[in-house]
Chain A
Amino acid sequence: MSFHPNDIQRRGVAATAAILVAMTALGSAFFRAQVLDDAAYRLSSERNRLRQVPLPAARGVIYDRHGEIIAENVPGYSVSILGASADSLRSTLVALTRILPLSEGEVNRAVQRFRKDPNRPTVILSDASYDQVAVLEEHRVEFPSLIIQSAPKRYYPDGPAVAAFTGYTGQIRDTELGTEAFEGYKSGQEIGRSGLERQYEAELRGREGSRFVEVDARGRVVRDGADRDFDAPVSGQVLKTNIDLDLQRFIANYLGDTLAAGVVAIEPKTGAVLALHSSPSFDPNRFIGGIQQEYWDELNADKVRLPLYNKAMQGLYPPASTFKLATAALALQDGLVDFDSRMPRPCTGGYVYGSRSWGCWDKGGHGAVTLSEAIAKSCDVYFYQLGLRMSLSRLLAGGVSLKMGERSGIDLPSEVKPLWPASTAYLDSTFGRGNWSNGETLNLSIGQGKNSQTVLNMARFYTALATDGFAATPEVVARSPERTQILKLTPAQFAGLRAAMGDVVSGRGTAGSAAIDGVQLAGKTGTAQNETSRDHAWFVGMAPQDDPTIVVAVMLWQGEHGYAAARIASKIISHFFKRPAIEPANVVGN
């Protein structure tokens, strides 16, 4: 080899140069990464290491009109897992099945939730029991990616008594995530599912907070990031309702679990909903944190009384004789009758129109009655003739002006729209042109036929009778009372209608047994004919008769006679006024 010092010298210089170049190149690469691009890498590093753990916000507390709590939050526990990858999450979950009863479906759903939002802890149990938490804490070391934290849990102290309007909350579903309607929601969050919880979700939900935990490469929690900014959750807004919780409780207790009924109590001058109940009810507390399948099955097993079906605003029933006040008021408004008017044909227990005889409920007949007496005794024959006098088209238009075909507009979701034919065209389309007769007028004038109302909408209509013709929009949460004029009558005429309704609850009327000591109750019974089962009992009443401060509508499913509903309404109103109800002395029919 060539080993002359000059050659060696030359090669030494070349080697030195090569090494210098290489080391400088390495150094500059590090300079670029560590000094120039430092910030970006720093961010990546933080994102690697820190995981945001959401801190659920407490939902807004719901109060009744006197400041009593309807819905609040109690401490609960949520269990979630920080997954590094779908596979590691799955293996952790499978390992967890040793100590937690997780089904394969639940594991798969959790993995799906993780895939949608890998940086968010995947909620496994949104409402873990103390026992579950105790067991998990015992095995904490085996599952370092587990996050067990306290989470406010929705609680309704009165449970079933308030379910009809509070509704309940539940975890957002995977199918809802990412849709427009649920924009901004993240997996594992609680949302209002029905009732007030859903209606006022935006105010009640509050704002989720967060804390940071430090994780290792496998997503295991190694440290709670106490040194990081702690973003405290913001509780939801307080909701003050018009509900009179004492009255609501009374109604729920009185109806118990055996009767199937819908009840609405409204303050006629404001529309404030004092109570709204559907019986039998369900316990919304058992819906929180995921409803247990057996409870769900149990509720759905009652195919007759349908606990999950809100009879106050989802059920549609023929209003029957409670509608006669609408017929009477419209006739008065049109000047067709006054309170002393009698119809051409006295009631003999039936009325022949067309080719058939239309019966009155009292086969004995009411004789030649005035309008006032016809209301008190609920004489069908009188109202047949009154309807015919008005004509069908006027009756239909009148019903529209009384908003019999519209929702009451209560601030609760899933109110069902009542059924009222806007014009004869509806009858044409239902029965077929020429397949119906003017006899429909007779049906409609006594609240039968193509007329189905919610308890709530009948209560709304009666608020107009209880005042000066202005119907109040029912409102659960006190916001902006709204009243719409639907009737134009003189004060004397309103007084006359209320007096006739007062007679209903007297020895002369159909619900004499519902009178209250010291408070003049006025109202109207109804017995809705039901083709498939026993008749439904209705009563819509108000008190005191002279200047009503409460309107109560009761529909007792298969209650058979209106006075059965009237007695319930009477109990409710007497409780409201703290007056004893008069015990039924003599029972009069519908």
Chain B
Amino acid sequence: MVENFHIISALVEDRPGVLFRVTSLIRRRNFNIDTITVGSTEKEGVSRITLTMRGDESIVEQLVKQLSKIPDVIKISELKPTESVYREMAIIKVLAQDSVRRSDILNYVNIFRGKIIDASKDSLTIEIVGNPNKINAFIEIMKGFGIIEMAKTGIVALQRGLKGKIE
């Protein structure tokens, strides 16, 4: 992964307006984030926001401190990439009109452990899950075949081991 890559994970109360408060703060403080995802957790009423950004330590520290001040943010921490599992998913629709190209694409999909989730006469739609490096590498290859459309989820992440459980 690129240098200065940071994953920030925030447990927040599942209430209307919380995501807005978080994104509003990010905009106001001029933080530049790469991805942001939100979803439920094992605990009712608690959601997890995962965001990723590039920047030096002081910017990350400031982002974490500022986000901590939002009363709906229950807990926030930076997840060290080396001590965490993190995944992103992409759905990529590629041009695949002749059989040679199709089989080439299938080979790559196998190598990257992707999945074909839809096919048409002229295209293949691939689902690929993994860390952002892997996905980016795959996208680079697919560019050569012609990407028609693409959607990415942004990163979700958890710390390894027992740490980080919601109290």
Q: Do A and B come from one complex?
A: no
